[in-house]
Chain A
Amino acid sequence: MKRRLNYTGRKKIERENVSINFIRKDGAIVAFTFNKLDLSNLKLPSEAKVYVEVYYRTDLKRFDFGTAGSISYPSYCDLKDMAYPENVKFRILVVNPADGKLLAHADRISPEEPAERKTILPVEFSDLGNEIWRVEYEGDEGSPILVINRRIPNIQNIAKQDSQFMMYVYPQVIREVLTHMVFVDRVDSATEPSTDWHGEWLNFIRQLGVESPETLINDDENFSKEDKEDALRWINSAVKAFCDSYSNKFEDYIHKMEEHHDEP
């Protein structure tokens, strides 16, 4: 689904200008609070209304945050009537009160969990039926999350340490994420993409020694055959570079296979 058209000149609220925290009681999420919502660089009309929506599945709750010229932070935003407070995402809307049109927005924002180090690929464990793993684009701004089937015994250790699992799964995850980024999301810049997670992944690939080709960025409805081949070649190079950087895991995997083969 292609959703990059922006005929109305809607502005993007950058993730770095938003800071949200959950409030917990006895470990359970009961509310949220905004530490920061900075719209000052967007040059929005001061009377524009600011709303924050919290949502997940069928649940949707809306909070009035005043106006762009005078943001009023509710001191306590209750989430007790949400069925899945652990999973909720946030949407910020700045609305022209005259015609109800969006002037700026940010979507799929997750609150900070301060103790956690930022990772470009969060891992979650969930019941996936008979699937072993799946990439879901449910993080901030549709960023990828690797979901691994929690029904597999000892899977949390396997996912971290097992060379066989790592060499089978992670290269394919990288291939999938890059393919999604280029052909589904249509990344809009090789150096400063407007979506944060695109930039983080491009940096990650650059750190593996693989530069992004200019042809990755394509404003046309469809990629030309040559551009598509370029992009696919880049993805293959990135996956190969990743595997090369984990050559010790590959050797470990081979070693285990040989041991297994030699067993009487």
Chain B
Amino acid sequence: MMNLRVMLPEGERKFREYIHNVRTNPRYQYPELNNEPFSKEFLPVISINETKHFESKMELAEYLHNCFKDADLKREDALQQNGLWTWLAYVWFDQLAPITNSATGERDIKEDAKYICSSDYQDYYRHLVSGPYSIYSLHGAENSRIFLYSRVYEHNDFIEQFASRQFIISHKNIVEAIRTLYIDCQRGKPKKGAQSRTNPGNIRRFVSVIQQFELTYDIYTISPERILDLLPDEFNNWKSEER
């Protein structure tokens, strides 16, 4: 266990440099950034298990949610701290960018925004640690599962299509409608075909329809059931549990 830290600009620079270099040189040395001037201890003191392995984004988000809750750290105070999220990605880098070739040490490394938490409104939901926490802490376990079912290093289409859209991800009733439509309760994963671009009522079509609703209804006051009722017929197949 170690105490939660906040990455400082110099640490962020070093971490970014490491990410860039390890892409082409898998043996590039992982930098030691758990001291000043690279990072500083976060207050209040919160213990984090830096070796904990997470099976899914859901597990990771739940773990952080509980750590922060135990320390009385409010969601809004945690989310403001970009350096905190960057540091968490740094300590869990091994599982966020896993080795894909044990012989060469090559890793599955995505774009910087997945590891370096940025103020950029277009990138924030892509961060592999703050993105899941942000969704879980707002929507709770049941409604988050549709977004957080995948492995910690994978960026799924539900996050890309829904979490990237402020209007959708901030409305709890829309998120509940999404879960009702697309989750396969038995598997705890999306129903097959929901992410297809060609199936009627796929998730991209849901986005288009909600964008029309946004300009027609006061969505905030509409229940999830009413949202489902308002959807056109192409969504009927998704309303049944069997699919």
Q: Are A62 and B220 in contact (CB under 8 A)?
A: yes
> Is B106 at the interface (CB under 8 A from chain A)?
no
Q: Are B217 and A101 in contact (CB under 8 A)?
A: yes
A10 CB contact (under 8 Å) in B77, B122, B215: B215
Q: Indicate whether A136 sits within 8 Å of B122 (C-beta atoms), given known contacts A55-B170, A58-B170, A93-B218.
A: yes
Stretch binding the partner chain, chosen from A37-45, A78-86, A112-120, A183-191 = A78-86
Q: Are B220 and A102 in contact (CB under 8 A)?
A: no
Determine the main DSSP class of A at the interface with B: loop
Q: Could you tell me the distance between the alpha carbons of A81 and B113 in the complex, rounded to whole angstroms?
A: 25
> Is A22 at the interface (CB under 8 A from chain B)?
no
Q: Could you tell me the distance between the alpha carbons of A49 and B221 in the complex, rounded to whole angstroms?
A: 12
Q: Indicate whether A55 sits within 8 Å of B166 (C-beta atoms), given known contacts A3-B215, A60-B171, A100-B221.
A: yes
Task: Count A-side interface residues using an 8 Å CB cutoff.
Answer: 37
Q: Are B79 and A83 in contact (CB under 8 A)?
A: yes
Q: Indicate whether A8 sits within 8 Å of B121 (C-beta atoms), given known contacts A58-B169, A81-B74, A83-B75.
A: no
Residues of B within 8 A of A6 (CB): 215
A102 CB contact (under 8 Å) in B76, B112, B138, B216: B216
Give A38-73 as 1s and 0s: 1 = Cβ < 8 Å from B's Cβ atoms: 000000000001010101111110100000000000
> Is B80 at the interface (CB under 8 A from chain A)?
yes
A179 CB → nearest B CB, Å: 19
Stretch binding the partner chain, chosen from A126-134, A162-170, A213-221, A249-257 = A126-134
Residues of A within 8 A of B122 (CB): 136
> Is B120 at the interface (CB under 8 A from chain A)?
yes
A58 CB contact (under 8 Å) in B112, B113, B135: B135
Interface centre among B111, B116, B119, B134 (most CB of A within 10 A): B119
A249 CB → nearest B CB, Å: 29
Q: Are B217 and A138 in contact (CB under 8 A)?
A: no
> Is B153 at the interface (CB under 8 A from chain A)?
no
Q: Are B216 and A129 in contact (CB under 8 A)?
A: no
A67 CB → nearest B CB, Å: 14
Residues of B within 8 A of A58 (CB): 134-135, 138, 163, 166, 169-170
Q: Indicate whether A57 sits within 8 Å of B134 (C-beta atoms), given known contacts A82-B76, A101-B216, A129-B112.
A: yes
B109 CB → nearest A CB, Å: 14
Q: Which residue of A lies closest to B80 (CB)?
A: A83
Residues of A within 8 A of B120 (CB): 126-128, 147
Give B45-89 as 1s and 0s: 1 = Cβ < 8 Å from A's Cβ atoms: 000000000000000000000000000001111011000000000
Q: Are B170 and A60 in contact (CB under 8 A)?
A: yes
Q: Are A95 and B218 in contact (CB under 8 A)?
A: yes
Q: Are B216 and A8 in contact (CB under 8 A)?
A: yes
> Is B92 at the interface (CB under 8 A from chain A)?
no
A215 CB → nearest B CB, Å: 27
Interface centre among A3, A6, A60, A126 (most CB of B within 10 A): A60
Q: Are A100 and B171 in contact (CB under 8 A)?
A: no
Q: Could you tell me the distance between the alpha carbons of A83 and B116 in the complex, rounded to whole angstroms?
A: 18
A84 CB contact (under 8 Å) in B80, B215, B222: B80
> Is A245 at the interface (CB under 8 A from chain B)?
no
Residues of B within 8 A of A57 (CB): 121, 124-125, 134, 166, 170
Extra pairs beyond A84-B79, A129-B111 (12, CB < 8 Å) = A3-B211, A8-B215, A57-B125, A83-B76, A87-B121, A100-B222, A101-B216, A102-B216, A102-B218, A126-B118, A126-B119, A127-B116
> What would 23 A/B residue contacts be, using CB atoms closer than 8 Å?
A3-B211, A3-B215, A51-B218, A55-B166, A57-B121, A57-B125, A57-B134, A58-B170, A60-B220, A81-B74, A83-B75, A83-B76, A84-B80, A95-B218, A100-B217, A102-B217, A102-B218, A127-B119, A129-B111, A129-B113, A136-B122, A138-B121, A147-B120
